[in-house]
Structure 1
Amino acid sequence: MSETDAYEALHGEIVAGELSPGERLVEEELAERLGESRGAVRAALLKLDHDGLVVRERNRGARVRRVTLEEAIEVLEARAALESLAAGYAALRRTDDELTELQSLIADMAKLHTAGELLAMSERNAALHRRILEISRHSVALDVCSRLHSQIVRFQFRTVLAPGRSPRSLSEHQAIVDAIATSDRRTAERAMHKHLNNVTQALISVASNRAAS
């Protein structure tokens, strides 16, 4: 396993919640578990620190970074600005094959919604957002949003479970792809911005309900 493999393994475990917020990350233990050198693990942790997923403290090692609700909201606000820009560029730059791919992702989301597979639907949602960023060919938006998304993916899995949220989410994503299909830059930008604003409100609602229970 290389440094890259160590990074991808730890990144996946953090995003999936297998490594919990606040959990200590001991280089020696991780190296033994992953079958890698401590140097490779140390380099992976440095990169995860840069991504905002890990916090390294002097003389105390590393731990999985805790993301507060306030930080998650700020991340969503930043993503709304950047992903709206990307959706507009995607409307202008997409190929027919890329449009077909986006429409296929929407179809998958609809099937999963009907089947009640909401977490799987959320995963396809993330794939759709990623492909729109890639299709935009806007390298800065893609780079920044990829790091931002990793920081709050655990929060977003909660929003799709909010009562009534999943059909609205499906409708919002359909509107984004429809605007991209017609090469309507401004409508695509507005649709994406509206969608991520609604995700923010759903996250606040879920958090408020948890605090009240």
Structure 2
Amino acid sequence: MSSAERLEGTGPAARVVDALRDAIAAGDFAPNQRLVEADLSEQFGASRAAVRAALLELTSEGLVERVQNRGARVRAVSLDEAVEITEVRMVLEGLLAAKAATRLTDEGQEQLRGIGTAMEHAVATGDLLGYSALNRDLHAFIRDTAGQRTAGSILERLRGQNVRHQFRLAMQPGRPSVSLPQHLAIIDALCARDADAAEQAMRAHLQSVVEALPTVETSRRTR
């Protein structure tokens, strides 16, 4: 992917990256499944060059791996690795939450409250996909508000590697009802501009994710 496409996020390769990442998260591509350039080119309506660049980008993120003489395939992330990734996220996202609390504007407060209200509505109506999208919006808002580019960059890579496990957890029946109060606690701490409380609320939320991941994997195997 060219540097311009990386910056703008609007080039053909960038669009394939987003589409392929979402497809892997949704389970359209299984762990260890081969990713054939010709097939992906047809599926996503993109050139082979754009697909090749997208695969290189996703390889750098740790979501795809290249096997000698066999091409690219979806990298399988074990449960143990998913837990480790989330533990690292706990530290980094706690830091970002603390920094965001000190930088939050009045307009940012309104945006956060809006996300919280939308989350409550999504849970009340059983909109799992909508709630999952709002979850991503909240974490992205905190990352952007914190202005800590190094931590933000590392988190983007970790999110890519863990996206499949996160999606499974988000779609688990009853999970939004568990995580909603945690997200609202994060929002309350941020709006109060309490850095310590924001960091602790974020850490508590991600500790809950660590504890929930093994139950999701067990549920998947017993279906």
Residue-by-residue CA offset, 1:13-46 (whole Å, 9 max, x unaligned):
2233222222211112222333433222212111
Q: What residue in structure 2 maps to residue 207 of structure 1? A: 217
Q: Which amino acid aligns with 2:88?
A: A
Q: What residue in structure 2 maps to residue 49 of structure 1? A: 59
Cα–Cα, structure 1 residues 66 and 185, in superposed 2: closer, same or farther, change >3 Å? same
User: Which stretch has the larger CA shift, 30-39 or 179-188?
Assistant: 30-39
Q: Which amino acid aligns with 1:80?
A: M
Cα–Cα, structure 1 residues 41 and 199, in superposed 2: closer, same or farther, change >3 Å? same
Match of 2:195 among 182, 185, 203: 185
Q: Is residue 162–residue 202 contact of structure 1 (8 Å, CA) maintained in 2?
A: no
Say whether 1:129 aligns with 2:139. Answer: yes
Q: What residue in structure 2 maps to residue 25 of structure 1? A: 35
Say whether 1:2 aligns with 2:15. Answer: no
- Number of aligned residue pairs: give it: 213
Q: What residue in structure 1 maps to residue 92 of structure 2? A: 82
Distance across 2 between alignment mates of 1:191 and 1:91: 12
Distance across 2 between alignment mates of 1:12 and 1:191: 28
Alpha-carbon deviation of 1:160?
4.1
Q: What residue in structure 1 maps to residue 156 of structure 2? A: 146
Identity %: 43
Q: Is residue 91–residue 184 contact of structure 1 (8 Å, CA) maintained in 2?
A: yes
Q: Is residue 112–residue 121 contact of structure 1 (8 Å, CA) maintained in 2?
A: yes
Alpha-carbon deviation of 1:204?
1.8
Alpha-carbon deviation of 1:114?
1.0
Distance across 2 between alignment mates of 1:34 and 1:169: 34
Q: What residue in structure 2 maps to residue 118 of structure 1? A: 128
Distance across 2 between alignment mates of 1:2 and 1:9: 11
Q: Which amino acid aligns with 2:34?
A: R
The runs of 5 or more residues in structure 2 that have no matched partner are: 1-10
Q: Is residue 15–residue 151 contact of structure 1 (8 Å, CA) maintained in 2?
A: no
Cα–Cα, structure 1 residues 208 and 3, in superposed 2: closer, same or farther, change >3 Å? closer
Alpha-carbon deviation of 1:108?
0.7
Residue-by-residue CA offset, 1:107-150 (whole Å, 9 max, x unaligned):
11101111122332122112111111111111112111122112
Alpha-carbon deviation of 1:209?
4.4
For the aligned residue pairs, the C-alpha RMSD in angstroms reads 2.0
User: Which stretch has the larger CA shift, 143-152 or 35-44?
Assistant: 35-44
Alpha-carbon deviation of 1:163?
6.2
Cα–Cα, structure 1 residues 161 and 63, in superposed 2: closer, same or farther, change >3 Å? closer
Distance across 2 between alignment mates of 1:48 and 1:160: 22
Say whether 1:16 aligns with 2:26. Answer: yes
Residue-by-residue CA offset, 1:172-192 (whole Å, 9 max, x unaligned):
111111111111111110110
User: Which stretch has the larger CA shift, 74-83 or 121-130?
Assistant: 121-130
Distance across 2 between alignment mates of 1:210 and 1:20: 13
Within a 5 Å distance, the mapping from 1:91-110 to structure 2 comes to 91-110=101-120
Distance across 2 between alignment mates of 1:85 and 1:184: 13
User: Which stretch has the larger CA shift, 27-36 or 91-100?
Assistant: 27-36
Distance across 1 between alignment mates of 2:126 and 2:119: 10
Say whether 1:157 aligns with 2:177. Answer: no
Cα–Cα, structure 1 residues 169 and 137, in superposed 2: closer, same or farther, change >3 Å? same
Alpha-carbon deviation of 1:80?
0.4
TM-score (normalizing by structure 1)? 0.91
